Structure 1
Amino acid sequence: MTLAYYCGLFFVINIFFCFFFLTITLIGGIILSGSIVGSSIAEFTGKADFYEANLTDKYNAFIGLDEAADSTTKSLLDEVGIKEMILNSSELITPSTLIKWTTNIMGSVQSVFKNIFLIIISMIFILTEMGGFKHKIDIISQHSPDTKISIDKFITSLRRYIGLKSLISFITGVVITIWVSLLGLDFPFLWGMTAFLLNFIPTIGSIVAAIPAILLALVQLSFPQAGLVAIGYIVTNSLVGNIIEPKVMGDGLGLSTLVVFLSLIFWGWIFGIAGMLLAVPLTMSVKIALESSPNTQDFAMMLGAIKPKKKKKAKTTK
């Protein structure tokens, strides 16, 4: 046995143990996060009666049914017409209804964690087969260089998209966790994890993530503090979604905004929450498949985003 053989064997063993350690760490982190989220949801369910009683007191005080309500506030609400509007809607929206909505939303978050776990396990198996998969692609596309170029471009773009999107979503989750912790909202880790996960869903994910936290802030805290929670979500998502993400991601995967939104509906209808999380990669796979054939390249162009044409500089004559 030569020294090169032992060095190569040592390198392979190191790679194996690194991959094994990263896999165990990833699965352990998911299980730990899932258990924390599950315990938070169970704790919220146990305190539902307390939250409902607290919300009922605020609800009664706001519409003027509580004797402790300020007379100036009552008269102001009467003049503006808010009190009458709330009384008319009180039969449809009650404190118990809001608590039930919040509980259902938090239950949906738990199911999202289960789907995320299955998706990541699937990705681990895909990564283990990546070497053989690349070899198969080389064999299949040896007579079609354009197909190989398209697939390589797709894999590179997808890897970049997932990596950057994960980093941006992680930053969003950390900021939300710190913000709601400073405001004293219960279960800050849960809201940070919700913001992290749902940020993978384009367009509507960040909006959905804010709803249960704002509802709980209305129940647990005051109306001004609930407004601060909402402002925190708006500012964070605006900075991340409109400034940081476009600069970091660039053109992304080249899908138009309308196609991304419609893909959320389509893949969500087929696969549920998991389909919404994977809407962009799945749609990009369809786009690459359409680009691989000259007969379907026009359809692929319809899925892509239109890039603005660069203005040519006018030639100056001396």
Structure 2
Amino acid sequence: MKTQKRNITSLLIDVASLVLIVAGLKAMSGLLSPILLSLFIVLVTYPIMTWLKRRGFPHWLAYVTVLLIVLVLGAFFVFFFTISFEQLSDVIPNYVNQTEAQLNNLWQWLNERGVESEDIRSLQWFQPERIIQLVLSFVSSLLGIFSNIGLTFLIFIYMLASAPTFAAQLRRGLGNNLPLLGQFQDFAQSTTSYLAIKSWVGALTAICQIILMWIMGVQFAVLWGVLSFLFNFVPNIGFYVALIPPVLLTLLNQGLWQAVILGVVYALINNFFDVVVAPRFLAKGLDLSVLVTFLAVIIWTWILGPIGAFMALPLTVMVKKLVLEPFPQTQLVASLLGSGDEETTKQGK
């Protein structure tokens, strides 16, 4: 009986500790977001710096080269999104009028077939002003991701500078704890590989989708392509979020069948790279179940804001590899988060 009470007490303490940790992370999200984003940028760019040094570059030149690459790419994204969203905001009133015309045609079509449309028309979701407000809110959330870009870049400068000595310090600090050192190395290697492969696969996917939208005459094709590249890092729901704007614009400007064609071909391109190309290079992936990847996006977005959706998988892998797997008390939870492919393979044999 006493043992049972101790187990219940221990469980309650663990749950309370988890709640406090999550609350603390959410309260510090403004500071944690640029730190974590800088960490993952270092994981992607440090191998480039190492490759340059192997090619004969001095350490300082390799370091400066990587910094310039990141600075140019960051400045490009900020400038591109600022200009694109300004242009988009200028044409939004035209889309309001087009949306009203399309809805009026829909109400007329329903009334001709004896369907009462008054109740539907009273819903907020069918009001053009409401739709535009949601679009602007979405755009504002995206711009908010870049609000701390200066702090993020400053943190990245120091992280990248200390990266060469971090591995040696980690080995010295862990001493003979080889399993934990292996967990750190496994996390770094799997996350670096995942981010690098998703980057170039997402870039190829976005280029093909931009070509498709350009051929079909979709407005802001490059903007939607760049958003497709970014939402490539958001599992499960990122594809649908990136698909909605170009399909809606095509529906308003060119009609239903053109929108359907765009949506189908767009999805085929995405599935080809996600299902055929990416698995050939990602190997076993990040060892997370489909349910966990879906919930991770929701939870990390709630904790860190919009940037949490883009870092959901690397953050979940970090928790799994560095917090749960090294300790016997939490290894069961780490196992439940996994995809279970290895166990399924063993059972099949």
TM-score above 0.5: yes
Q: Which residue matches 2:339?
A: 305
User: Residue 136 of structure 1 corresponds to which residue in structure 2?
Assistant: 169
Alignment of 1:174-213 (within 5 A): 174-213=207-246
Please report how far the alpha carbon of residue 99 of structure 1 lies from its aligned counterpart in structure 2 after TM superposition. Answer: 3.0
Q: Deviations over 1:146-190 (max 9, x none)?
A: 111221122111111111111121122212211111111111111
Which residue, out of 69, 72, 90, partners 2:121? 90
1:42 matches 2:86: yes
Give distance in 1, aligned partners of 2:237 and 2:149.
Answer: 18
- Choose between structure 1 and 2 for higher RCO, CA contacts under 8 A separated by at least 6 residues: 2
The amino acid that maps onto 2:325 is E
The amino acid that maps onto 2:211 is I
Larger Cα-atom Rg: 1
Higher helix share: 2
Give the number of aligned pairs.
Answer: 291
TM normalised by structure 1 equals 0.81
Aligned counterpart, 1:3: none
The residue that corresponds to 2:8 in the other structure is: none
What is the identity percentage for the equivalent residue pairs of Structure 1 and Structure 2? 26
Q: What letter is aligned with 1:89?
A: I
Q: Which moved more, 1:40-49 or 1:19-28?
A: 19-28
| Structure-1 residue corresponding to 2:287 | 254
1:168 and 1:240 in contact (8 A); partners too: yes
Q: Give the alignment partner of residue 18 of structure 1, picking from 57, 62, 85.
A: 62
Letter in 1 for 2:266: Y
- Matched to 1:237, the amino acid is N
Matched, 1:107 2:124: no
Give the C-alpha shift of residue 13 in structure 1: 6.2
Mapped partners of 2:327, 2:102: distance in 1: 62
**Contact map agreement 1:291 1:300 (CA 8 A) in 2:** yes
Structure 1, gaps ≥5 residues long: 1-8, 65-73, 314-318
Closer/same/farther in 2, CA of residues 235 and 219 from structure 1, 3 Å limit: same
Is the alpha carbon distance of 1:256 and 1:249 closer, same or farther for their aligned partners in structure 2, counting shifts above 3 Å? same
Structure 2: gaps of 5 or more residues = 1-52
Q: Residues 129, 57 of structure 1: CA spacing in aligned structure 2 closer, same or farther, 3 A cutoff?
A: same
Preserved CA contact (<8 Å) 2:206 2:226: yes
Q: 2:251·2:259 contact (CA, 8 Å) conserved in 1?
A: yes
1 CA distance for matches of 2:244 and 2:78? 20
TM-score (norm 2): 0.74
**CA distance change for structure 1 residues 35 and 87 in 2, over 3 Å: closer, same or farther?**
farther
The aligned counterpart of 1:225 is 258
For 2:30, the equivalent position in structure 1 comes to: none
1:237 matches 2:267: no
